[in-house]
Every structure is written in structure tokens, then in C-alpha cells.
Amino acid sequence: MTSTKHTSLTTTKYTGHIEDSSILQTFIRTDLSNQRIPVTHLFIAHYHAYPCTVVIQASTSLGKLHVPTIRRYIENDHKHNSTEDIIKREYHPIIRSFYITDFLANLGNGIMIDCENCQLINDIDNPNKYKSDGFDDYFLIVEKVRINYLPEHDIYVNDELASKLSSFYVLQSKLTTIQVVCKSSQQDFITIHHQILKQLNKIEWKGIILLYGLPGTGKTYYMRYLINELQEKNVIFFPSDIIHNLSSSEFLQILKIYSHSIIFIDDAENINKDHPDQALNNLFNLNHLSHQPIVATFNTYSLQTFSQH
């Protein structure tokens, strides 16, 4: 019997290509259900070494990194072919187009650059005079970019590359973050925002705040903004990929330890994946058991569903 040799249908230069069959088998056995780009796995697959990392932000406190400028820089200065990148996109209902949410670029020399949770925003200050990104004055920005690299690049990455990438930024006003969350007028939601802050700053308040909206409308981004506004409060943030365990006894023990914290839950319908229609009831039960204020986002519930509770 002759063995069959399996041939990859993609170019070996593609960042997602895995040459080593043993590493490929490890990937197959790994839980990648959270759908994030497995950056560390891919770095090991390409370079057979665990990466050093540095996380960069804009070089000014009010800045957000401008994603297209970062990608153009590595294309021009590093002769990088961006068609070989791993890219994730989502549909934005306002601009009615797809935009990059995550990407991983392998520069081929022991350096990988990745970012996740990119956002489209408008109404920004633009000190570097960038052109808008083709979406009616929207700019594609990200909070942080991570550089993964082999140790021989440590001096270059920290002294030069990180500094260069952090200089590619736009300035986002506070109103922009608030504005994208609600379809009502901007001024209306600013009022709502201050009401939310007032409730969360009350010592004895133990209620629930629900944020509903279609994917891509800014709920997670607003939640992070809200956390930043609550600097004198302890918060616990549960991302969407782990909250299905939130009702377990182990998580309840964690909540008891941090009993004076505010609980933030992203994509709360994932609390009960088997019965998403029961997720809201699970949320109320969690609030009852923990006696802690909860802020939660929902993607799939209608406003009518909320009105029934």
C-alpha cells in the first residue's frame, strides 16, 4: 500500500501555515473555541521557540494606535507582504462594510506583530494628519499592539520598533466612546452615562445594568471606558470566552473573595450557551447569590425581552 502525501493548498509564506506535522497535531488537540488568533502557538510553529513579548500603546495618554499606518510601516520599512497576514474581519452595521478586527503579521525574521479588538471610530483629533480609512471619516484604531520576538531582537524591538509603532496614533475624544453605544442622540446617552456612574458609585447599590446592541456597535468598548472611569472601585471583568463557567461553585468562591467589586460581563448570553433564552435569568440569579452590582452586555436579546423582566 502506498502512502498518500498531503499537500497544503496555501503558500508556505502564509502566517497561518504550519509545516511541522507534530505541531499541527497539537493544534488539532488544542481548544481554539474562543476564535482568537493563537499567536503564541503560531510563533512556536514558525520559530520553534517561545516568544519574548512587549505590549505597546500610543505614546500619549489620550491616543489610540492607528492600525493602517502600522501596517503600512511594516510593509514599507520591513518589506513585509501583508497578503500573508492572518486577518479577521467583522461587518459594521453603520458603515455597512467589513473592517479588520484582528491581525497577525509574521515579519519572517523572528518578529511577529499582532493586535486584536480593533475599532472604527470617528470624531477624532488627527495631529498626524492621517487620511480617513475609507469609511466616511472613520479611523481604524486599537488600544494595544503586541510584538512577539526572538531574544536576539530585544534591543531593536524595545529601543526602536516599539517606539516607532507607538508614534502612530490619533486622539479620541471621550464623547466618541460614549456616542457609539446608543442609537439615541449623543446628548441623551451622555446623560445615561452619568446616571450609570452615579449608580455604580453608590456604596449600597447592588443592581444590574444591561447594555444591549448589535455586534460592532461599541458595547465592549464602552464597558472598558466605564471601567476606566471607575478608578476608585474594584472591578472584575469576565470576557465572553469564559463566562459559561460563571455559575460554577469555583467562580462563586472567587466572587466571595472580591465581594466589594463590580462585576462586568461581556456577551452575557454566553452564560448559558445551551439555553441562551435563559441567560437573563441566570444573570439575575448570579446577582442574587453574589449581592454585587453587575454590568452586562447582550448581543442577541431584543429590547422586548428586557422589558419582560
Given a cut of 70, is residue 203 above it in pLDDT?
Answer: yes
Note the pLDDT of residue 15. Answer: 63
Residue given cell 499567536 in the structure block:
39
Average pLDDT, the chain: 79
Q: H-helix or E-strand containing 64?
A: strand 63-66
pLDDT for 208 beyond 50: yes
Q: What is the Cα–Cα distance from 63 to 236, expressed in whole angstroms?
A: 25
- pLDDT value of residue 46: 87
DSSP 98-125: EEEEEEEEE-SSSEEEEE---EEE-SEE
Nearest to 41 by CA among 64, 58, 18: 18
- Structural domains present in the chain: 7-172 (no CATH), 176-302 (3.40.50.300)
pLDDT the model gives residue 140:
93
User: 3-state SS of the chain: helix, strand, coil percent to 5?
Assistant: 40, 20, 40
> Of how many residues is the chain composed?
309
- Provide the grid cell at 306: 428586557
Please say if the pLDDT value at position 22 is more than 70.
Answer: no
Comparison of pLDDT for 137 and 27, the residue scoring more: 137
- pLDDT single digits (tens) 158-202: 999 999 999 999 986 654 444 444 444 455 677 888 888 888 988
- Contact at 8 Å (CB) between 221 and 119? yes
Give percent of the chain above pLDDT 70.
76
pTM above 0.85, yes or no: no
Specify the pLDDT at position 173: 61
**Which residue, 61, 171, 72, is CA-closest to 121?**
171
Q: Please, what is the angle between helix 21-29 and helix 39-47, to 10°?
A: 170
pLDDT at 5: 44
CB 297 within 8 A of CB 211: yes
pLDDT at 3: 44
pLDDT at 142 over 90: yes
The residue among 48 and 300 whose pLDDT is bigger is 48
- Per-residue pLDDT of 33-88, as tens digits, reads 556 888 988 898 889 889 999 999 998 777 899 999 999 999 999 999 999 999 99
Flag whether pLDDT at 309 surpasses 50: no
- pLDDT of 1 reads 43
Q: CA-CA distance, 31 to 33, in Å (whole number)? A: 6
pLDDT tens digit string along 246-279? 767 777 787 888 888 899 988 888 777 666 667 7
Of 36-40, 212-216, 294-298, the one with minimum mean pLDDT is: 212-216
Tell me the residue type at 133.
D
Say which residue, 177 or 222, is predicted with more confidence.
222
Residue 6's SS3 state is: coil
Beta-carbon count within 10 A of 237 CB? 14
Q: What's the Cα-to-Cα distance from 40 to each of 26, 47, 111, rounded to whole Å? A: 13, 10, 12
pLDDT of amino acid 11: 47
Where is mean pLDDT largest: 85-94, 153-162, 195-204, 205-214? 153-162
Give mean pLDDT, residues 113-120. Answer: 91
∠123-96-179 over CA atoms, to 5°? 30
Q: Which ranges constitute the DSSP H helices of the chain?
A: 21-29, 39-47, 67-77, 154-156, 162-166, 174-179, 186-200, 219-229, 249-257, 279-290, 303-307
CB 282 within 8 A of CB 196: no
